Amino acid sequence: GATQPTATPDQGEQRLSLAYHPGKTLNPYSCADFTNRTVFSLIYQGLFKVDKAYQVQPMLCRNFWVSQDRKTYIFYPEKAEFSDGAILTAGDVAASLEAARKGAVYGGRLSNVQTIVVTEDGGVRVELSTPYENLPLLLDMPILKASQVDADFPIGTGPYALEHGVTGRFLRLRQDWWCKANLPVTAERIPLVAAHSAKDIRDKFE
């Protein structure tokens, strides 16, 4: 399938690599390519995540407040770090949500959002045009640095950082990852194998 990692013998071990489409960006707000989106969960994190039981769990959101009419939410970001060491700010969250709202990938789910502003106490206030019982359910999209919301290869707060090496792009495991959560993948280096089609992915996997 298009999401399968490739595994090749490497001195008696299995070496994990992931396919990606080099002609597409790795910007989560504009890239709809399914192959590239498979890589996103290792590089980026959202304010929330949805677990296997379809329950909402906080990720980059430390806590939040919601008005009684369910039309105003204020989200307070976690003390997380991007892969370059920069601290996540409310400005990053606000800029990311605004970019997601205007983008083709997440625009539909955020169509009821009217305004997104940073509050004086370091939160991000989201005003809705209609009440919504569980806005966090929709906020699992990746959060980027405010300065990189339009970049082709933005950095994130996830467990892996995208690197550009002599032999091509690869993901490097972050030893200083702020989250310290258990990971299903713990390879220190994951090469990204260029593939332009499902046939390319199949052939390389085989």
What does the pLDDT look like over 48-66, one tens digit per residue?
998 888 889 999 999 999 9
Q: What amino acid occupies position 2?
A: A
Who wins on pLDDT, 2 or 19? Answer: 19
Across 6-10, 116-120, 190-194, least confident range:
6-10
SS3 readout for 72-120? EEEEEECCCECCCCCECCHHHHHHHHHHHHHCCCCCCCCCCEEEEEECC
What's the pLDDT at 184? Answer: 73
What's the pLDDT at 199? Answer: 56
SS3 state at 84: coil
Report for 15-29, 85-99, 156-170: range of highest mean pLDDT: 85-99
User: Model confidence over 63-91: pLDDT tens digits?
Assistant: 999 999 999 999 999 999 999 999 999 99
What's the pLDDT at 33? Answer: 86
pTM of the model: 0.85
Share of the chain above pLDDT 90, in %: 63
User: Model confidence over 90-148: pLDDT tens digits?
Assistant: 999 999 999 999 999 999 999 999 999 999 999 999 999 999 989 999 999 999 999 99
Q: Residue range 27-43: average pLDDT?
A: 90
